[in-house]
Structure formats: structure tokens, C-alpha cells
Structure 1
Amino acid sequence: MTPYKILVVTAVDAEAAAIRAGLDPDLIVVDAVGVGPAAAAAGTARLLATGAYRAVISAGIAGGFAGRVPVGGTVLATRSIAADLGAETPDGFLPVEELGFGSSVLECDPVLLKALSATLPHAITGDVLTLSTVTGTQATADRLADRFPEAVAEAMEGFGVASAAAAASVPFAELRTISNAVGPRDRSAWRMAEAFAALRAAAPALIIS
């Protein structure tokens, strides 16, 4: 039988609850698997091994790059990039590609991205970075913005979810709503309510025919 459910993977229960509210569980399964790329990859692989899904979407709250996406905005990834997968050298960061150990970039499924873009016409598309350590300084934010001119957001799970989806040959996409600007860690500037409201508003768009 052809799989018909969509799997939506979040990091934490609050994100899952925001997406799950009002959705038909016969069409979409939403599960929180933990924070970070390792937990995301392991949790997604476990879920894919125990059910048949036609698509996997990594979703949740993220930081947005200033000038590229506003706080409260919605982002759809064109690519999920493991931005800190590589090696530190005296001359700067060396990505894993240059080490000869694979790739730090996974493309989102173009058909899935097109369908999501059609249902979320105001969403901003671009690269979403996955980092194990959230950016907390302007210097790091500037370096990332320079290295990844198409990046619109950073989070901690997308590449892990994408890796599990790729291994299972299941189409992958990533959706994020923006709670804060990437840069100095200032929790007073975070707009979590706006980001969660945007996540709830985007949830119905995940039901893709």
C-alpha cells in the first residue's frame, strides 16, 4: 500500500503541540525527538523504521539572519546545511567536503518545496543551517552570513532529519518560524509568542495532497 501519512519532526514538545493542534492524525504524525542533529537523526530514523510515510518535514522555531527574514516570519528551506561539520584550521573553518569525508549539504525535495511554497506564499525560501551550538555573538553571525549568502535561518535539527530521510529514500523538507535574529544571545529580544503563532498558522499547509 502506498504511504499516505506525512511525518513532521520537531525538537521539543511545545513545537509539536503547536503543529499538532487541529490537524488530523490520520494524515499527519507529529513527534518531538529531541534537540540537536544526533537526536534528530536517531529519532527520525526510528520513526521511519516503524511506519510508512510519504514525506518527512523538520519543523520548529529558529533564529533568522537579520535583513533576510523578519522575526515572526516563516522560512522554507531549499537546502539543509550542517554548517559546523568540518575542521578548524589556522586559516579558518574547513568544511567536510574539503576533508573528503562526504557532504554537509542536503537538498530539500523540490516537489515538496514547491507544494509547501504554494500553500505558504509569504514564506521566505533559502538555506537553513544546522548547528550543534547556537550562534551567540555578532562575529559568528557575520562569519556564517558570509559563508552562506543564501542562508535565511539557523536551527539545530534539520540536517539530522534530512540525513535520516535520505537514508530511507523519503522526500524531505524543512519549515521554520523565526523567534529571534541570529547573533548575540539576548533572550529579552526573543519573540517566542510570535514564532509559535506563526508555527500554528503554518501547520495546516503541511497537509499536502
Structure 2
Amino acid sequence: MRVLVVTAVAAEGAAGGRGLLGCGARSSRPLPGGHTVTSHLLTGLRPAPAADRADGAQGGPVSAPVADLRRPDASARDGRAGGEPAASPAARTAGDASVPGGHRASDPAADSVPGTPAAESSAGIGGGFAPHAPVGTLVLSDAIVAADLGADTPDGYLPVEQLGFGRSVHVPPPALTTRLAAALRTAGNRCLVAPVLTVSTVTGTADRAAELAARHPRAGAEAMEGFGVAEAAAAHGVPVVELRAVSNPVGPRDRAAWRIPEALDALRAAFEPLSTTVFVED
């Protein structure tokens, strides 16, 4: 499977990259706007512990906002190339992902031609809705919702659909969500399958949190990028899913309550089982 994984900031990409196991060849290429996409070719095998490796090599971090993950083909399995898992049109499925540094043009991953991924994922950290998504929870979307794409009226909020145009919801394929959730939970991760809300202004008050929770009672997390990634995926006919590691409660803005390192570590931990299961499966 070739998966495209899209992150908003370098720290999220780096966390995901550290979680990719069985990664062989990597290559990077520039994107418009000064961003980079890094391809990781996944072998589907867990690497030997560092102490057991002759070269002591460690996997490098992903630093760009787009990661292309691709599963090796038969020739790659024979030793021609290796790499990291894929996750969506922003990061190719099963074996490609973005990382800092370049590769010689002769590298197998560098020679690969970009193609359409089998799936796309918006991944990163975000706010969690209490009480069901505490800090450290992985929220996997069963809906990606543009929660403030609409209009305020004297009678309340109207989503864009009720205005007669556009859409505000993308629904990931249930089979894909089920496979991802099973892999995450089998590895011991706390995983909640629920809607992930996309907002243009991050929630910073209890009233706003209550309003969103009332409109979307099953919502698990809030972030800012997922719906945009989903729109891009839909434009190319690619399935999409969103994965968020919770760093703080949705509600009053309290920087002291942010647990960004813990959330990034949860994101890293999510990519470990995915890189040896779903990302390398057909």
C-alpha cells in the first residue's frame, strides 16, 4: 500500500518518522512553498535492536510536512530498496515518508516516480474533547468535519450544506478505519474512533467547547488541517483518514495544560505498529 501522510509542522513529521519501523531507502524532493516530501520505503520487518546492529544505525526523523510511505515491490524485497510506510495522498501509501537530508540520484527511492497513493492521512497532535479523549489518546476519524464552515444565524449555526452549497463532512472508508484502529489497539495504544473537527480558529473558551460538543456530541478531537487534506484527497479520488494524538483538552486556553511532548510521543508510537501492518499490506 502506498500512503501519503500530511502533517502541519516539522515536529509532527519527525515524530511520525521516528515511529516508522523496517524503513529502507529514503528520498526527499521539494514542494511549492518551501516544503519537502520525503519518501520512505517500508520492508514490513521490525529492525534489530540498536545493540544488535553492526553499524549501530538509527532511523532519522521526518522533518517535512508531507511524508510519502510506500511498500517495497518484489525487487525491493530482494534487497534493492527499503523504506517507510505510507498513509494518504499527502504521503504515499506503504513505504514513502519525508525526512531531512538528500539522497544520491542513484538511490532507488530517489529514482522512483511519484504516483497516486492508495490512501491519504492527515496526522498530528490536537485538542481532545473531555472526558472521552484525555491527553495521550489517539483519535482516529470516522468523520472529518469542517465544524465552522457555514453561517451564524439568529436561530443558531447552519452548516454549509443547509445553505445550499458545498459540504462540511468527509467520511473515511469504514474498512480502512477498522484496520487502522485494530492495529493501534493490538499494540496497546489507547485509540478512540470518533469524528475529528477541523476549525479555522482554535477553541479557547469553555463556551466554545460546549457549543462544538453540543453540535457534535461524538467529537473526539479538534485540529485545523484535516478537512483541507480530505478535500485534496477527494479531488483525486483517494480515501482519507485523520489521526490525532491529544495534547490538551478542548476548552479554555491554558498553555500550562499543554502536553505536547507526550502527544508527539503518542504519535510516534502510533506509527510503529502501522508501519509493520496496514502500511505494508495490500
Structure 1 gaps, min length 5: 34-43
Give the alignment's Cα RMSD to 1 decimal.
2.2
* Cα drift, residue 120 of structure 1: 1.0
Within 5 Å, give how 1:30-49 maps onto structure 2. 31-32=64-65
The separation in 2 between residues aligned to 1:161 and 1:71, in whole angstroms, is 24
* Cα drift, residue 205 of structure 1: 3.2
> Which of 66, 86, 89 in structure 1 is aligned with 2:153?
89
Please identify runs of 4+ aligned residues in structure 1 that moved more than 4 A: 28-31, 44-48
Are 1:187 and 2:255 matched, yes or no? yes
* Cα drift, residue 89 of structure 1: 1.3
RCO higher in 1 or 2 (8 Å CA, sep ≥ 6)? Answer: 1
Given that 2:6 and 2:91 are in contact with CA atoms closer than 8 Å, whether structure 1 keeps it comes out as no
Deviation string for 1:39-60 (max 9, x for gaps)? xxxxx87878x53211111100
Aligned to 2:175, what secondary structure does the other structure show? helix
Aligned to 1:205, what secondary structure does the other structure show? helix
Higher helix share: 1
Structure 2 gaps, min length 5: 24-39, 44-61, 67-87, 93-113
* Cα drift, residue 88 of structure 1: 1.5
After TM superposition, the score normalised by the length of structure 2 is 0.65
Higher strand share: 1
The separation in 2 between residues aligned to 1:165 and 1:27, in whole angstroms, is 22
Given that 1:6 and 1:27 are in contact with CA atoms closer than 8 Å, whether structure 2 keeps it comes out as no
Higher Cα radius of gyration: 2
* Cα drift, residue 111 of structure 1: 1.9
Within 5 Å, give how 1:47-58 maps onto structure 2. 50-58=114-122
Are 1:104 and 2:168 matched, yes or no? yes
Deviation string for 1:54-75 (max 9, x for gaps)? 1111100010001121111111
Question: What amino acid is aligned across from residue 26 of structure 1 in structure 2?
Answer: L
